[in-house]
Amino acid sequence: MKIALLQCDHVVKELQPAHGDIPDLFKNLFDRVAPEVSLEVFNVTRGEYPDPVNHYDGFISSGARYSVYDKDPWIIRFKEYVRELYDHGRKFVGICFGHQMIAEALGGKCEKSDQGWGIGIKEVKIHKKMPWMQPELDSYRMIVSHADQVAEIPENGEVLGGNSHCPCSIYTVGKNFLGIQAHPEFTPAFEKDIMRVRRDRIGQKAIDEAIPTLNEKTDEVVVTRWIIQFIQEI
Q: Which of 99, 110, 168, 185 is catalytic?
A: 185
Domain ranges of the chain: 2-232
Write out the chain's pLDDT in tens, 234 residues.
999 999 999 999 999 999 999 999 999 999 999 999 999 999 999 999 999 998 899 999 999 999 999 999 999 999 999 999 999 999 999 999 999 999 999 999 999 999 899 999 999 999 999 999 999 999 999 999 999 999 999 999 999 999 999 999 999 999 999 999 999 999 999 999 999 999 999 999 999 999 999 999 999 999 999 999 999 997
Q: What is the helix, strand, coil percentage profile of the chain, to 5? A: 35, 25, 40
Cis (ω within 30 of 0) for the bond into 135? yes
CA 195 from chain centre, in angstroms, equals: 18
| Contact assessment for residue 52 and residue 81, using Cβ atoms and an 8 Å cutoff | yes
Give me the pLDDT at residue 54, please. 86
Full-model pTM: 0.97
Give me the pLDDT at residue 196, please. 96
Q: Looking at the domain covering 2-232, what would its CATH class be?
A: alpha beta
96 given a catalytic annotation: yes
Residues 6 or more apart whose Cβ sits within 8 Å of residue 27? 39
171-189: pLDDT as tens digits: 999 999 999 999 999 999 9
Give me the pLDDT at residue 115, please. 87
132-147: pLDDT as tens digits: 999 999 999 999 999 9
Give me the pLDDT at residue 204, please. 95
Rounded Cα–Cα distance for residues 14 and 32 (Å): 25
Whole-number mean pLDDT of the chain? 97
H helices within the chain, ranges in order? Answer: 16-19, 22-33, 73-87, 97-105, 188-197, 199-202, 204-210, 220-232
Q: Which of 19, 146, 165, 183 is catalytic?
A: 183
Rounded Cα–Cα distance for residues 48 and 64 (Å): 16
Give me the pLDDT at residue 85, please. 98
Residue type, 143: I
Which among 122, 151, 152 has a CA at the least distance from the CA of 139? 122
Q: Which of 8, 96, 110, 166 is catalytic?
A: 96
Checking phi first, is residue 76 left (phi over 0); if not, alpha (psi -120 to 50) or beta?
alpha
| Contact assessment for residue 98 and residue 62, using Cβ atoms and an 8 Å cutoff | yes
